[in-house]
């Protein structure tokens, strides 16, 4: 075992820290309060090449893997940006650039990857539906073939960044659940160019992360050409896992980075605040919860990078000529279990302890922790989302209980 961080990751991490220092917590407080997209930040991370970390060099990216992307996210989040350091990159890179890189046809790669790499295109992914919730197999958005097009109808909920995205990965049923030989069959991923009159979006007022909109979506008579299917028709579940697992890793590292930022901020304050003749940081009542959470976050970090390492090295994408071949995709499915197990365990520990860390960081600040100007309440609101999304803690625990421990299902 070798825990040395490779030089290219050191370098990209350092660059991320430099950029983060130009977008301090005050910048994000303003963006959050004004409900404004962080244009300057998006430009800076695009120019630094962060929007193309996982995109091959021939399409304008740097051809690195998920480990490199997480390194960027961790450093941006931990050095001033909070969850924003992870959020925007997840919407474009994890949701769209990564699956197009792995499963896209040559035409799809040429059309989308250079624009995603340069930051000209932002992305989104529409999976969740009001009636299906956590049960992806119950989605009822349907895509029906008419000639060489698909006509799509349905509704989606909580779709982040769709109001700005130029391309979205849309998950629909091409075979109804009651006609599918097994529940994983019948899902298909489509690349949809936006904006489109057939896709109506309405932002949802929300608790945090207001530098990005999350929307309710109605899709009525959307026509998508057949060539915009991503991966094999009806076998989209396996392509989708290649989005959902890195999404768990991204938000684990985002939670860890944000929590480390909150802990560092609270520790600094705790050295200067004196109410009974000693700095409050000397009280074990404040030290122990922060030390416990910090330790667990370091363990979660190892798990998160292990998941990314497995994904980059053990879970290779199909050869270009076989990206639409169901048999190839199915054969490789053994690797999803390995990646999924570690990614879910990482997410469980990272999020639980990021919430604990930000909660105790607020406690260190006393009443000032409730004031917006000290930032910790914002970071607490940010990591609080991650109990619910991208997967709820309960569903991630179910995965570990069923697939890792082999416990019976209901
Ligand atoms: C701000 C925000 C941004 C989001 N962005 C996106 C996005 O960009 N794209 C997208 O597709 N989705 C997005 N989502 C959706 C998110 O992934 C879902 O909200 C999440 O998967 C949970 O689904 P649900 O809200 O329908 O909860 P439900 O599935 O209704 O769950 C409700 C509660 O029941 C529990 N529960 C349900 N089933 C079980 C079970 N079997 N065992 C134990 N407990 C169970 C859950 O853990 C949860 O506590 C976003 C959500 C939010 C809030």
Both 376 and 266 in one domain: the answer is yes
Compute how many other C-beta atoms are within 10 angstroms of the C-beta atom of residue 4.
Answer: 7
Both 365 and 290 in one domain: the answer is yes
Q: What is the pLDDT of residue 316?
A: 85
Both 259 and 217 in one domain: the answer is no
Both 201 and 265 in one domain: the answer is no
Both 307 and 358 in one domain: the answer is yes
Q: What is the pLDDT of residue 397?
A: 98
Q: Which of 126, 158, 255, 410 is the best mutation target for the ligand 1 pocket, counting ligand atoms within 8 Å of the beta carbon and taking the most?
A: 158
pLDDT digits (tens, 9 = 90+) for 254-310: 999 999 999 999 999 999 999 999 999 999 999 999 999 999 999 999 999 999 999
* Residue 316 counted as domain residue: yes
Q: Which domain holds residue 18?
A: 7-122
| 126 Cβ below 6 A of ligand 1 | yes
Both 303 and 162 in one domain: the answer is no
Ligand 1 centroid to 387 CA: how many Å?
9
| 243 Cβ below 6 A of ligand 1 | no
| 158 Cβ below 6 A of ligand 1 | yes
Instruction: Choose one of 73, 103, 122: the last residue of a domain.
Output: 122
| 258 Cβ below 6 A of ligand 1 | no
State what percent of residues in the chain have pLDDT above 90: 96
* Residue 142 counted as domain residue: yes
- For residue 89, give the CATH number of its domain: 1.10.540.10
Ligand 1 centroid to 392 CA: how many Å?
6
Ligand 1 centroid to 391 CA: how many Å?
6
Q: What is the pLDDT of residue 126?
A: 98
Both 220 and 259 in one domain: the answer is no
| 123 Cβ below 6 A of ligand 1 | no
| 128 Cβ below 6 A of ligand 1 | yes
**Ligand 1, atom 33: closest residue by C-alpha:** 392
* Residue 2 counted as domain residue: no
Q: What is the pLDDT of residue 330?
A: 85
pTM as predicted: 0.98
Both 104 and 207 in one domain: the answer is no
| 298 Cβ below 6 A of ligand 1 | no
* Residue 410 counted as domain residue: no
- For residue 291, give the CATH number of its domain: 1.20.140.10
Mention every residue, 6+ apart, whose C-beta is less than 8 A from residue 140.
Answer: 129, 131, 132, 154, 173
Instruction: Choose one of 203, 230, 257: the last residue of a domain.
Output: 230
pLDDT, averaged across the chain: 97
Both 295 and 318 in one domain: the answer is yes
Both 251 and 135 in one domain: the answer is no
* Residue 342 counted as domain residue: yes
* Residue 223 counted as domain residue: yes
**Which DSSP symbol is given to 35?**
T
Long-range contacts from 388-395, C-beta under 8 angstroms, 24+ separation? 389/158, 389/251, 390/244, 390/247, 390/248, 390/251, 391/134, 391/244, 391/248, 391/344, 391/347, 392/134, 393/348, 393/351, 393/352, 395/134
Ligand 1 centroid to 398 CA: how many Å?
14
Domain count, the chain: 3
* Residue 199 counted as domain residue: yes
The C-alpha atoms of residue 32 and residue 15 are separated, in whole angstroms, by: 24
pLDDT digits (tens, 9 = 90+) for 368-409: 999 999 999 999 999 999 999 999 999 999 999 999 999 999
**Ligand 1, atom 27: closest residue by C-alpha:** 133
Q: Which of 172, 194, 389, 397 is the best mutation target for the ligand 1 pocket, counting ligand atoms within 8 Å of the beta carbon and taking the most?
A: 389
- For residue 131, give the CATH number of its domain: 2.40.110.10
Instruction: Choose one of 64, 89, 122: the last residue of a domain.
Output: 122
In the predicted structure, residue 334 carries a pLDDT above the cut 90: no
Both 245 and 392 in one domain: the answer is yes
* Residue 253 counted as domain residue: yes
Both 270 and 381 in one domain: the answer is yes
């Amino acid at each position: 075992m070798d825990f040395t961080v490779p030089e290219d990751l050191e370098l990209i991490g350092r660059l991320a820290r430099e950029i983060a220092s130009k977008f301090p917590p005050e910048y994000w407080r303003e963006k959050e309060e004004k409900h404004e997209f962080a244009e300057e930040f998006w430009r800076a991370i695009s120019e630094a090449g962060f929007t193309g970390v996982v995109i091959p060099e021939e399409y304008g990216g740097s051809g690195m893997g998920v480990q490199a992307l997480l390194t960027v996210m961790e450093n941006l989040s931990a050095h001033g940006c909070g969850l924003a350091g992870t959020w925007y990159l997840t919407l474009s890179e994890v949701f769209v650039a990564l699956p197009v890189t792995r499963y896209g046809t040559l035409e799809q790669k040429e059309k989308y990857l250079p624009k995603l790499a340069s930051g000209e295109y932002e992305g989104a992914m529409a999976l969740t539906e009001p009636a299906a919730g956590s049960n992806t197999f119950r989605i009822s958005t349907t895509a029906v073939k008419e000639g060489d097009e698909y006509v799509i109808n349905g509704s989606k909920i909580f779709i982040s960044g769709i109001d700005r995205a130029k391309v979205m990965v849309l998950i629909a049923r091409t075979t109804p659940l009651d006609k599918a030989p097994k529940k994983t069959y019948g899902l298909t991923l489509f690349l949809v160019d936006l904006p489109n009159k057939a896709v109506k979006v309405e932002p949802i007022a929300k608790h945090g992360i207001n530098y990005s909109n999350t929307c309710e979506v109605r899709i009525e008579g959307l026509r998508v050409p057949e060539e915009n299917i991503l991966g094999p028709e009806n076998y989209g579940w396996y392509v989708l896992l290649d989005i959902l697992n890195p999404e768990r890793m991204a938000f684990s590292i985002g939670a860890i980075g944000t929590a480390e930022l909150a802990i560092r901020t609270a520790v600094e304050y705790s050295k200067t605040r004196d109410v009974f003749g000693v700095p409050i940081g000397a009280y074990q009542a404040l030290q122990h919860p922060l030390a416990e959470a910090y330790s667990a976050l370091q363990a979660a970090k190892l798990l998160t990078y292990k998941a990314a390492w497995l994904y980059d090295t053990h879970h290779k994408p199909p050869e270009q000529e076989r990206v639409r071949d169901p048999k190839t995709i199915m054969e490789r499915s053994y690797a999803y279990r390995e990646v999924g197990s570690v990614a879910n365990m990482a997410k469980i520990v990272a999020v639980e302890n990021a919430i604990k860390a930000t909660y105790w960081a607020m406690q260190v600040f006393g009443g000032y922790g409730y004031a917006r100007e000290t930032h910790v309440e914002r970071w607490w609101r940010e990591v609080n989302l991650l109990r619910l999304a991208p997967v709820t803690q309960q569903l991630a625990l179910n995965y570990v209980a069923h697939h890792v421990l082999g416990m019976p299902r209901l």
